[in-house]
Structure 1
Amino acid sequence: MTGRLYGVGLGPGDPELVTLKAARLIAAADVIAFHAGVGKQSNARRIAAELIPDGVIEEELRYPVTTGETAHPGGYAGAMAEFYEESAARLAVHLEAGRTVVVLAEGDPLFYGSYMYMHDRLSDRFETEVVPGVPAFAAATAAVASPLVRQTDVLTILPGTLDEAELARRLADTDGAIIMKLGRTFPKVVSALRQAGRLDGALYVERASMPEERWLPVTDVDPDSVPYFSLIVVPGDSKPSVAEMPTRPTGEAAELLIIGLGPGPDKWITPEVTEALAEVQHIVGYAPYVNRVPQREGLTRHASGNTVEVDRARLALDLALKGERVAVVSGGDAGIFGMAAAVYEAAKDEAYADVPIRVLPGVSAVQAVAARAGAPIGGDFAVMSLSDRLKPWSLIEKRLRAIAKADLVLAIYNPASRSRTTQVAEAQSILLEHRSGDTVVVVGRDVGRDEESLTVTTLEKLDPDTIDMKCLLIIGASGTRTTPAGQVWTPRFAERSRFES
């Protein structure tokens, strides 16, 4: 009969925060295992010292390296993977012998803990139980006695090892935050907090719940004094609301910019847009597009969902009316199924009559897909959205027939979604009433991104089940051709066809 594996959380450091269950299991264990850093005593072993019975077998699992510097041929990742395999093998010997093995874990075993790597390797072979522990951030929040999140506030837990730009973006977008894994990352984390406008409210906590515990504002911390056992608490109350944001005292409305970010890669963002984004105070838009704008000091982000275009337009107009420099962002070109029309719709209200509006162009998705394919829109073409959220399907059908009869190349945005699963097939059927089955079709998916794919097929062979919101379709005209290399182009000159009357 094999033994049982326990991952036991010990809490943040104070032995009195160890749970009764954890204490009971430690006292009854045959084997106590714990991790230790290079040249250091195990903190987990220290916390549990008074609970470990005499005569128990102890397994010290000492890391081979604690930084990214190692001579291992597989680098840091390779060295650590080998260490975890060897550690799991050591524990497996005890488990196979029928012994109860308790792996001590600081904080909670499955929260940035080393126990999880033993769990990954052993839980499918041996009976396993995880005992939760008080996480370090709970002790840190208690130490500063500052409410972390209230009511509908969002809490984000971040490792300080994140890229600085990504860390700043996430800090700007959340209410409350905990930043862990400090030490050498501390200066970068401080910079990210400053860029996100969250530095003033951030609190540094060191060795929470331990005798050496101390806390102070992040701005007062000496970066050279920061140990690994430290974290930063960013209370949700420290995030300024729109109403609290200072406005320029001129009383004059500022120009509202509507910006196209292009379909994906930063290299497709125009220099004009880059310059504008560096100067505005606020970014307003659909969350995935707002997330593409790097966070910096003095920038406030206002991200929202996908069906509130006019509401976010009004927010932008309200800010501009107060004299704030605001940019509303869209993917692709803001004037093609983007936020430009929504802003002008909201701006019909006389309250916004003094707000000047300027649209900055961006590379559109149809341009990006067409360029990847060759030159399918080299002649006359039309652009449509199959979404019936703002117009009835009957109108979409009418326009599809008109475009098909006119023998225009057709670019289709928003072809399908989770709730719209039949419209591509219906559009295909309508177009086949007027066009040959061998009409060239281009399907671009995630063009400009890592997952990019481009498929050239025909109208008859197009499989509607393979199309979703990540796709843009280009349906060729009668004159659209393919090259021997598979590229697609439409002549600039008109050709007589069966579509002419």
Structure 2
Amino acid sequence: MTGHFYGVGLGPGDPELITLKAARLIAAADVLAYHAGVGKQSHARRIAAGLIPATAVEEELRYPVTTGRTEHPGGYAGAMAEFYEESAARLATHLEAGLTVVLLAEGDPLFYGSFMYMHDRLADRFPTEIVPGVPAFAAATAAVAAPLVRQTDVLTILPGTLPEAELARRLADTDGAIIMKLGRTFPAVRSALAQAGRLEHALYVERASMPEQRWLPVADVDPASVPYFSLIVVPGDSLHQEPTGRRGDAQPAPVERPAAELLVVGLGPGPDGWITPEATAALSEVDHVVGYAAYVNRVPQRAGLTRHASGNTVELERARLALDLALRGERVAVVSGGDAGVFGMASAVHEAADDPAYDGVTIRVLPGLTAVQAVASRAGAPIGADFAVVSLSDRLKPWPVVERRLRAVAEADLVLAIYNPASRSRTDQIVLAQKLLLEHRSADTIVVVGRDVGRQEESLVVTTLAELDPGTIDMKCLLIVGASSTRRTASGGVWTPRFVD
């Protein structure tokens, strides 16, 4: 008969915050295990010291490395993976002997803790139970006595190890926030808070619930003094608070706004390097960015910028929101992937602006690199001559219209770029398009399939119209179907001559 394995949360540091269940299990344990840092005493053992029975066997699991360098051939990840395997083997020996093993965990066992790695390795072999603990952020929130979130507020818990731009974006997009894992990350975290406009109300809490506990505004913290046992509380109320002035204070002069103008900005198909300098400069000056969430997320967060992200099928609603903001004199940009004028938001904005209510808004479209240009450049020069662009999506036009246009392009012997070839709900159109094109083009017509071009997962496949496998095509793909004159080079490049025989 095997023993039982318990992951027991101890809370943030104050022994009085240990739950009754955790205390009972610790007092009855045959084996007590706990992690310890390099050259340090175990904080988990310190918290539970008064409950550990003299009869218990203690297993100290000392990390081989924390943030320092390691000579392990697998680097930090390899050293830690080996450590967890060895630790699990040590605990398994006791469990196989039928002993009760309690692994102590600071805070909650499954909240940024090491217990989960033991759980991954032991839970499928031995009876396992997890006892939750008070997380550090709950103690920190109590220390500052600031309501973290109310009613429908959204709470986001963020590691300070995130890239600064990503951290700033997420801080701007949430109500309340907790930022963990500070220490050396503190300067970048502070900068991200400033960029998100959340620095003023952010509170730094150190060693929450412990005798050395202290808290102060993040803006007042000396970065050199920040230990690992610290976090930042960003109350949800701070997002909605307006600056207040005492009665009799001088009021700021009204800000002169330019005539109502709305920018529609193409971000290019992926990498930051493909965004034009004009677009970058414009986005650095606006107060509001409106768009599909995936595109809004590509705009760096900074102080004073408000983001309005929405789903992928509400183009007119987001266009009207942007127009309304512009009418109020706000500086607004609607963002779109690729070029905003190619199956993008520019058309939706002009459609919404056709309402006389928006006659006072000037619309300015800033061009962007298109997906077809990106894929073509990777292949060589397949669109070096006349070409057409068609979207297979039938969400805004009936499929017979798409078929009629595909047939006209095929009969005209034009190179064809196909946007939106398939999605999870549209898998038949690419099959029908292939069949239709084969009625007018030879089976060996060259086809280029670009997937996620410009991103880390980028792939490019050159095939033929007959050998194209529709089952491999999805929304991340763009296809270029060659004309009869399109050729391949000896090195595998694809090009279409500018001349016609």
**TM above 0.5, one fold?**
yes
Residues of 1 paired with 2:478 and 2:217: CA distance?
A: 50
Aligned to 2:104: 104
The equivalences for 1:108-127 within 5 A come to 108-127=108-127
Change (3 A) 1:435 1:243: farther
What amino acid is the match of 2:37?
Answer: G
Partner SS state of residue 308, structure 2: strand
Q: In structure 1, what is the equivalent of residue 386 of structure 2?
A: 380
CA contact (8 A) 2:203 2:233 kept: yes
Give, in whole Å, the separation in 2 of the partners of 1:456 and 1:240.
53
Aligned twin of 2:14: 14
Contact 1:248 1:322 in 2 (8 A): no
* 1:474 aligned onto 2:474: no
The 1:77/1:264 distance shift into structure 2, 3 A limit, reads same
Deviations 1:90-128 (A, max 9, x none): 222222222111000011111111112222232333332
SS of aligned partner of 2:364: strand
- Separation (CA, whole Å) in 2 of partners of 1:383 and 1:83: 55
Query: Hey, what's the Cα distance between the residues in 2 that align with 1:251 and 1:273?
Result: 21
> Contact between 1:247 and 1:323, CA under 8 Å: does it hold in 2?
no
What aligned pairs does 1:262-411 form with structure 2 within 5 A after superposition? 262-411=268-417
Matches within 5 A, 1:416-431: 416-431=422-437
Cα 1:54–1:164 shift into 2, 3 Å = same
1:282/1:324 contact within 8 Å kept: yes
* 8 Å contact kept, 1:205–1:215: yes
Partner of 2:199: 199
| 1:365–1:242 CA distance, 2 compared to 1 (3 A) | farther
Q: Displacement, 1:196?
A: 0.8
Aligned residue in 2 for 1:134: 134
Aligned equivalents of 2:285, 2:142: Cα separation in 1: 39
Q: Distance in 1 between matches of 2:254 and 2:301?
A: 21
SS in 2 for 1:11: coil
Q: Which residue of 1 aligns with 2:165?
A: 165
Cα-to-partner distance string for 1:154-180 (whole Å, 9 max, x where unaligned) = 222111112212211211122221100
Shift of 1:149: 2.5
- The whole-number CA distance in structure 2 between the counterparts of 1:253 and 1:148 is 40
Distance 1:263 1:155 in 2: 31
Aligned to 1:442: 448
Structure-2 residue corresponding to 1:499: none
Is the Cα–Cα contact under 8 Å of residues 137 and 231 in structure 2 kept in the other structure? Answer: yes
Q: CA RMSD in A?
A: 2.2
The equivalent residue for 2:247 is none
Q: Which secondary structure does the structure 2 equivalent of 1:298 belong to?
A: coil
Report the residue type matching 1:136 in the other structure.
Answer: A
| Alpha-carbon distance in 1 for matches of 2:208, 2:145 | 12
In the TM superposition, residue 243 of structure 1 has moved relative to its aligned partner by 13
Shift of 1:270: 1.5
* 2:374 counterpart SS class: helix
Q: Which residue of 1 aligns with 2:471?
A: 465
Q: Aligned letter for 2:376? A: A
Q: Tell me, yes or no, if the aligned pair for 1:253 and 1:324 is still in contact at 8 Å.
A: no
Check 1:340–1:242 CA distance in 2 against 1; reply closer, same or farther (3 A cut).
Answer: farther
Say which of 258, 264, 273 aligns to 2:264.
258
Q: Distance in 2 between matches of 1:492 and 1:242?
A: 61
Distance (Å, rounded) in 1 between the aligned partners of 2:237 and 2:209: 23
**Conservation of the 8 A alpha-carbon contact between 1:253 and 1:322:** no
- d(CA) in 2 for partners of 1:150 and 1:375? 56
Distance 1:118 1:238 in 2: 39
The answer to whether structure 1 residue 456 and structure 2 residue 456 are counterparts is no
Deviation at 1:241, TM superposition (A): 8.9
Query: Shift of residue 250 of structure 1?
Result: 2.3
Q: Are residues 1:27 and 2:27 paired?
A: yes
**SS of the residue aligned with 1:21?**
helix
Name the CA distance, whole Å, in 1 between partners of 2:137 and 2:334: 36
Comparing 168-177 with 84-93, greater Cα deviation is found at 84-93
Deviation at 1:481, TM superposition (A): 1.9
Aligned runs of 1:479-494 on 2, under 5 Å? 479-494=485-500
In the TM superposition, 1:46-61 aligns within 5 A as: 46-61=46-61
Q: Is the 8 A contact 2:263 2:334 kept in 1?
A: yes
- Counterpart position of 2:248: none
| 1:225-265 deviations in Å (ceiling 9; x for gaps) | 32221111112222249999x99732543432211111111
Match of 1:228 in 2: 228
Q: CA deviation at 1:322?
A: 2.3
Cα pair distance change 1:243/1:461, threshold 3 Å: farther
> Residues 391 and 493 (structure 1 numbering): CA distance in 2 closer, same or farther, change over 3 Å?
same
Contact 2:257 2:330 (C-alpha < 8 Å) held by counterparts: no
CA contact (8 A) 1:317 1:347 kept: yes
Question: In structure 2, what is the Cα distance between the partners aligned to 1:404 and 1:219?
Answer: 64
The alignment partner of 1:424 has SS state of helix
After superposition, give the CA deviation of every residue in 1:336-380 in whole Å (9 maximum; x if it has no partner): 001111111111222222222211111100011111111111121
Separation in structure 1 between the aligned mates of residue 497 and residue 56 of structure 2, nearest angstrom? 83
Cα distance in 1 for residues equivalent to 2:254 and 2:437: 55
C-alpha distance 450-248 of structure 1, shift in aligned 2 (>3 A): farther
Give identity over the alignment, percent: 81
Could you tell me how far 1:321 is from its partner in structure 2?
2.1
* Residues 252 and 322 in structure 1, CA contact (< 8 A), matched pair in contact too: no
Cross-structure match for 1:95 = 95
Secondary structure in 1 matching 2:421:
coil
Q: Residue 190 of structure 2 aligns to a residue in which SS?
A: helix
Contact 1:68-1:75 within 8 A present in 2 as well: no
CA contact (8 A) 1:260 1:334 kept: yes
Q: Gapped runs of 5+ residues in structure 1? A: 496-501
Distance 1:477 1:292 in 2: 35
User: Could you tell me how far apart the structure 1 residues matched to 2:404 and 2:21 are?
Assistant: 69
Deviation at 1:467, TM superposition (A): 0.6
Partner in structure 1 of residue 5 of structure 2: 5
Paired residue secondary structure (2:231) = strand
Measured against aligned partners, the alpha-carbon deviations of 1:379-424 in whole angstroms (never above 9, x if no partner) come to 2111111111111112112211222222221111011111111110
> Matched residue pairs, number?
494
